[in-house]
């Protein structure tokens, strides 16, 4: 582990939280207009920073989910068309800066946001993301919650 890794993660997480507070994230709208216009990258946001409740997912001792076996393929299928470090401007479709899911290092600092937008667990099922199809199944959302909990437990 890199020295001061937790300090670096805290700084990145605070920066991301600050960016979310001022970013107009098209994906945050639940209304049909936003979902229907999601492919054009130009629609208004009525509210900012909508998050579901924490799922309270845990990492079972028997978990086999890893970044390579689950996290990376999940993010590539459902998230990186908007949340990638290589995307800028309108190509992000309103995704906030510092929410880049094309690497583990980009996911971990905002894992709580991912949990509260897209994961499922014993306390909640969050279906705010992705805003457009394809969408994960309930089982995939549960696996996302588990995988995030396991990754965070390693820190």
Q: Kindly list the domain boundaries of the chain, sorted by start residue.
A: 5-153
pLDDT tops 80 at residue 115: yes
12-53: per-residue pLDDT in tens?
Answer: 443 443 333 323 334 443 333 333 333 333 333 223 458 999
- List C-alpha distances in Å: 127 to 9, 13, 119, 122, 137: 26, 22, 7, 14, 10
Question: Region 111-133: what's the mean pLDDT?
Answer: 97
């Amino acid at each position: 582990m890199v020295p001061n890794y937790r300090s670096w993660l805290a700084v990145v997480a605070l920066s991301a939280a600050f960016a979310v507070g001022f970013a107009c994230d098209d994906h945050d709208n639940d209304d049909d207009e936003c979902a229907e216009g999601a492919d054009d990258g130009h629609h208004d946001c009525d509210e900012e920073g909508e998050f579901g409740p924490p799922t309270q997912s845990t990492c079972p001792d028997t978990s086999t989910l890893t970044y390579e076996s689950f996290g990376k393929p999940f993010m590539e299928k459902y998230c990186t068309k908007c949340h990638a470090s290589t995307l800028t401007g309108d190509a992000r479709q309103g995704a906030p800066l510092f929410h880049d899911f094309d690497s583990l290092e980009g996911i971990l600092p905002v894992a709580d946001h991912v949990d509260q937008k897209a994961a499922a667990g014993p306390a909640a099922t969050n279906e705010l993301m992705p805003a457009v199809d394809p969408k994960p199944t309930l089982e995939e959302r549960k696996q996302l919650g588990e995988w995030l909990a396991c990754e965070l437990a390693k820190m």
